[in-house]
Structure 1
């Protein structure tokens, strides 16, 4: 099965949370910060959203920075994904 986003939505896969700090301290599950960098897996076609034309500016394979708690989390074939609107993407990471 595959997920194909509609309208101005984008399917992303969040990068794994850091297990240790830069100084080598191991983090417990509750101390880990939610990652904000993700890989774009699929992109919707854009089109009219709330009466305004939306052109998609990200593409499959981009690494993006998202709002911390944006989107809807979904699980597919044992993998965790998030579906966000293009407006929830803050930047493309290069």
Structure 2
């Protein structure tokens, strides 16, 4: 199966949480924070959304940082994805 987003939506695959701190302390599963960095898997077509013309500025393969509480989590074929609106993406990591 394949996720194809509509409108200004973007499908993201979240980066793995850090298992160690920079000082070398190993974190338990409960204390690991969900990272806000993800890879773009698929991008909607853009177009007119809520009466405004939307041009998509990200593409599949981009690494991005998104808002902490943005989007909807979806599980498909054992993989977890997040579907967000493009305006919930804060930056592209280069």
Match of 1:79 in 2: 79
Number of matched residues?
A: 94
Q: What is the TM-score normalised by the length of structure 1?
A: 0.97
Flag structure 2 segments of 5+ consecutive residues without an equivalent: none
TM-score norm. by structure 2 comes to 0.97
In structure 2, how many angstroms separate the alpha carbons of the residues matched to 1:80 and 1:63?
16
Q: Residue 23 of structure 2: SS of its match in structure 1?
A: coil
Match of residue 39 from structure 2: 39
Helix, strand or coil: the match of 2:80? strand
Q: Distance in 2 between matches of 1:92 and 1:74?
A: 22
Q: Distance in 2 between matches of 1:26 and 1:93?
A: 26
Instruction: Tell me if 1:23 matches 2:23.
Output: yes
Q: Which runs of 5+ in 1 are unaligned?
A: none
Runs of 4+ in 1 over 6 A off after TM superposition: none
- Show the counterpart of 2:54: 54
